[in-house]
Structure formats: C-alpha cells, structure tokens
C-alpha cells in the first residue's frame, strides 16, 4: 500500500496545502481516492505535482458531507470517466458551520447528484463496494468523542440541531494479510471508529490514516488536554500505526506524539507513505 497525501493543511512536500483532506492509495490491485480536498483546482494541481494520474483512479470515496473534503469532487468526476464514487446517503443533506462571519452551509451541492447521478453511489450502515473494502458509518459514541464538533449543525425540519455525523463513513482496506483504516475528520471519535473497525474486521488495523478532530478549526480551539491524553492512551492500546493531520490540531498532535512516539506520524500534504 502506498498512500500519497494530495491535500492537507500543512505542506510537507512540493504540493500546495489548504484546510481539507484528500488521500490517494494504491494497493496491489486498486487505485483509490479517499476524499477530494476543498478545491478542484488544488486537487488537479497537486495530483500533477505529485505524479498521480486521477484518470486512472478506479474507485473513490467521500468520507462525509463537508466541503473541505468534497470541494474537489466535481473536478474529479470531470477528470475521471469511470470510477464509481461512494458517499453516504446523508452526505448531501444540509450541514452548517457557525463561523465568526456567520452560519455557512458546508455540505456538497445536491445538484451534483442530478448531474453525475450514475457515478455517485449512496451508502448506509456497513457497505462493501468491492472485495476487501468495507465502508461503515455506525461507530458507537463514548466519553472519548470529540467536543470540538460544537459549532457544526444539521438541519432537522425548520431548525438546526447539533450535527450527529450520521453522514460520516470510514473505510477498511484489506490487502493480503494487512488491514488499513481510512477516515476523514473522525467527527464520531477516532477511538470509537477504531473500535468499530476492529469489531468488523476481527482484528485491529495495521495502520490508520485520518484526521482525529481534536481541534475546532473555526474557533482555533483545541480539545482539553485531558481528553487528548485519554484518546492517546486509548490509541496506545491498539497495535496500529497512526498517520494523522488535518483537524487533529498541532497542539493535540504534540501531546499524542509524546504518548505514541514513533507509532504516530504527521500526514502532511505532499508526503508519501509505503507500508
């Protein structure tokens, strides 16, 4: 498995960075795009810089209905004529972020469903798009769920309620004897997601690639240190390696690094990892 970070918040290689996430994964038999970053031009430019041919991607996944992951979706569809894209059936529902400048709708444009309907496949619960691949959107909650979701909302009738992230899905990839877990922001809590992935696969993943959502990017406020430490200690209990960035936050990352040492690496824009 080779993973290339096409978009992430901090440039660690030749590509341009922006708040968002897009990961490209090559396994023995597949060429997968996981999320599209915030902007189509950026996705295309970084793919060119990093030598990734998006036209050769054969399967794509959107982790959840937020524009820092879905912004490049249409550009991808225009530059790849065959890959099915798997999104949760609630990804196009209205989702909002409370910013300093006001409330902003951050879910993808539902018109994409009409324009590219045959390319977009809606998922729910536990879903296998192909052999060795499992999408799941049903982790439980726990006291390790992040509190920094507090400025994110979903529409319920005429009112807004706190986003429950029912539109979020995570991906397990089995490649031979190895198992990998991919997440977007882990709004449902990375430890909850990891526990659910372990239960579904019957074993813990060898490696996890995901934002851990331990900071609120809008408010620039990190989760309390106590929670970050408890997340780190729970992650330490799994045998996995962790590759994280995006919404993990620099302060929480440093705390996790103290706990996890060499088992944690920064998932910086432009980097490539082979496992």
| Residues forming the site for Fe ion (CB under 5 A) | 66, 68, 185, 247
Q: Whole-number minimum distance, CB 12 to Fe ion, in Å? A: 18
Q: Which residues in 146-177 are b (16+ Cβ under 10 Å) and which e?
A: bebbebbbbeeeeebeebebbbbbbbbbbbee
Q: Whole-number minimum distance, CB 43 to Fe ion, in Å? A: 15
Q: Whole-number minimum distance, CB 246 to Fe ion, in Å? A: 6
One DSSP character per residue, 4-49 reads EEEE-SSB-SSSPP-SS-EEEEE-SS-EEEE---S-HHHHHHHHHH
Is the four-CA dihedral 155, 158, 160, 166 of positive or negative sign?
Answer: negative
- Side-chain-facing half-sphere of 62: CA atoms under 13 Å: 34
Q: Whole-number minimum distance, CB 46 to Fe ion, in Å? A: 17
Q: Kindly tell me the burial class for residue 256, based on how many C-beta atoms sit within 10 Å of its own C-beta (0-12, 13-18, 19 or more).
A: buried
C-beta closer to Fe ion: residue 179 or 228: 228
Q: Whole-number minimum distance, CB 185 to Fe ion, in Å? A: 4
Structure tokens at 104: 């902003």
Tallying the residues shown for the chain, one arrives at 275
C-beta closer to Fe ion: residue 217 or 232: 217
C-beta closer to Fe ion: residue 31 or 39: 39
C-beta closer to Fe ion: residue 64 or 196: 64
C-beta closer to Fe ion: residue 80 or 97: 97
């Amino acid at each position: 498995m080779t993973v290339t970070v096409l978009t992430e918040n901090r440039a660690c290689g030749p590509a341009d960075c922006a708040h968002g996430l897009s990961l490209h994964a090559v396994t023995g038999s597949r060429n997968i795009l996981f999320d599209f970053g915030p902007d189509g031009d950026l996705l295309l430019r970084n793919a060119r810089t990093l030598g990734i041919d998006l036209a050769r991607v054969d399967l794509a996944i959107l982790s959840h209905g937020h524009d820092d992951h879905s912004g490049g979706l249409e550009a991808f569809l225009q530059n790849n004529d065959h890959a099915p894209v798997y999104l949760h059936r609630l990804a196009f529902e209205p989702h909002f972020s409370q910013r300093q400048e006001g409330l902003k709708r951050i879910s993808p444009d539902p018109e994409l469903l009409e324009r590219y309907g045959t390319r977009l496949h809606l998922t729910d619960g536990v879903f296998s798009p192909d052999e060795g691949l499992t999408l799941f959107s049903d982790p439980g909650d726990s006291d390790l769920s992040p509190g920094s979701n507090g400025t994110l909302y979903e529409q319920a009738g005429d009112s807004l309620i706190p986003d429950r992230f029912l539109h979020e899905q995570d991906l397990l990839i089995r490649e031979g004897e190895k198992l990998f877990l991919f997440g977007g922001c882990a709004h449902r809590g990375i430890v909850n997601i990891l526990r659910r992935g372990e239960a579904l696969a019957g074993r813990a993943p060898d490696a996890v690639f995901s934002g851990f959502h331990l900071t609120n990017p809008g408010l620039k406020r990190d989760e309390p240190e106590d929670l970050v430490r408890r997340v780190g200690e729970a992650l330490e209990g799994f045998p996995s390696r962790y590759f994280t960035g995006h919404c993990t936050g620099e302060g929480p990352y440093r705390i996790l690094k103290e706990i996890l040492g060499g088992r944690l690496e920064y998932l910086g824009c432009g980097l490539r990892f082979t496992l």
